[in-house]
Amino acid sequence: MKSLQELASDDLRGKQKLTLIVLVACVGIFGLHWKYFYNIATGPHEASAVDFEDPGAVQYVKSEGTFVKVGSSTSRKLGIEVGTYRLHEVGDVRVLVHTEPDFEGKTVSGRVEAVPKDVRESMGDELGAAPYMINAYVSYWLSPNLIMLITMVVFPIAVLVFLRQKLRGKDPMGHPQIAKLKEFGNPMTVVSEIEADMERNGVPENGLPVYSSDRWMVFFGDSLRIYAQDAVIAFGLRSGAVSSINVFLKGQSFVESVFLDNDIAGDVAEYLAAGQPEKHVRDVETFEKNWNPKAVAKTYA
């Protein structure tokens, strides 16, 4: 078995790799939506310069003039008007514009998009409108789909996390689970004491990624976790599509979940229960609903 320092370094390396995968995925999604960024950088474009038969890469436009109401968009559930369609002439081209119901302005800006089939059949063809319209109902800045909006939030966070991980490097002292041991003294000295404890008492012979003694509870599977037994109020197995050992800590309102493969989660729970039966919770879901961080350890059999 690797030392805790090696496990901490491996864990840091794995988390850095995962963050890099997230960043690459974000860049890939941005690449698929390159037109959005192109238009943010270069738009809004004048509608008079846009071909509403085939706008190409142009998506963000603005226009000024007269907007004549020719129809409405309604809520199917409520049956009320939620938007209006207006006819706008751009040169000799008739363009439909979707606006808010109370729109009374002379200028619009929005996204160029294909006229919906039902709108085209009900009014677009009759009015001789171009196949592309201006959707001024929603700001172009907020027009990307949900995945894109989520990616725009995740990306800067992932960049900051990755930079922090790079600065921290693979030094075990940079691992949160090692760093938090400073409350017991020098973290590396405490790690040595835990390893000596593990050497003296032995880890499970069946290769379970867990160790428990009167002083420490250690998980060293996909993610390193180290808990002082004095801080552990209770623990138990939460089964599901992905199983976990839920750990309830003294003075901590949120529950820490250690995710495990389903085929070993039950064995890990049994191993922990054998060493600390008074802390073992059988009905984790009920216990979690009633969890009080000020609770004291007692038997929850």
Are 85 and 71 a contacting pair, CB within 8 Å? yes
Residue 298: its pLDDT value, please? 46
Which residue, of 88, 115, 135, is where some domain finishes? 135
| Residue 248 in domain | yes
Are 262 and 242 a contacting pair, CB within 8 Å? yes
Which residue, of 117, 135, 153, is where some domain finishes? 135
Joined together, the tokens standing for residue 299 give: 């038997």
pLDDT digits (tens, 9 = 90+) for 66-120: 999 988 887 777 778 788 999 999 989 999 999 998 898 899 999 999 998 888 8
Distance, in Å, from the CA atom of 221 to the CA atom of 225, rounded to the nearest integer, reads: 9
Joined together, the tokens standing for residue 3 give: 């030392």
| Residue 285 in domain | yes
Across 264-291, average pLDDT: 90
Structural domain span for residue 252: 203-289
pLDDT digits (tens, 9 = 90+) for 225-254: 999 999 999 999 998 888 999 999 988 888
Does one domain contain both 208 and 128? Answer: no
Joined together, the tokens standing for residue 293 give: 């961080």
Q: What is the CATH number of the domain that holds 221?
A: 2.30.29
Residue 172: its pLDDT value, please? 79
Distance, in Å, from the CA atom of 230 to the CA atom of 217, rounded to the nearest integer, reads: 10
Are 132 and 60 a contacting pair, CB within 8 Å? no
pTM to 2 decimals?
0.64
| Residue 89 in domain | yes
| Residue 241 in domain | yes
Joined together, the tokens standing for residue 288 give: 């979690």
CA angle 14, 18, 20 (to 5 degrees): 115
The sheet with strand 232-238 has its strands ordered as 232-238, 243-249, 256-260
Joined together, the tokens standing for residue 223 give: 């993610």
Are 222 and 259 a contacting pair, CB within 8 Å? yes
| Residue 31 in domain | no
Percentage of the chain beyond pLDDT 70 is 96
Mean pLDDT over all residues of the chain?
A: 87
Domains: count for the chain: 2
pLDDT digits (tens, 9 = 90+) for 163-178: 988 887 777 788 888 8
pLDDT digits (tens, 9 = 90+) for 188-213: 999 999 989 888 888 877 788 999 99
Which residue, of 101, 135, 169, is where some domain finishes? 135
| Residue 220 in domain | yes
Does one domain contain both 49 and 131? Answer: yes
| Residue 251 in domain | yes
Percentage of the chain beyond pLDDT 90 is 44
| Residue 20 in domain | no
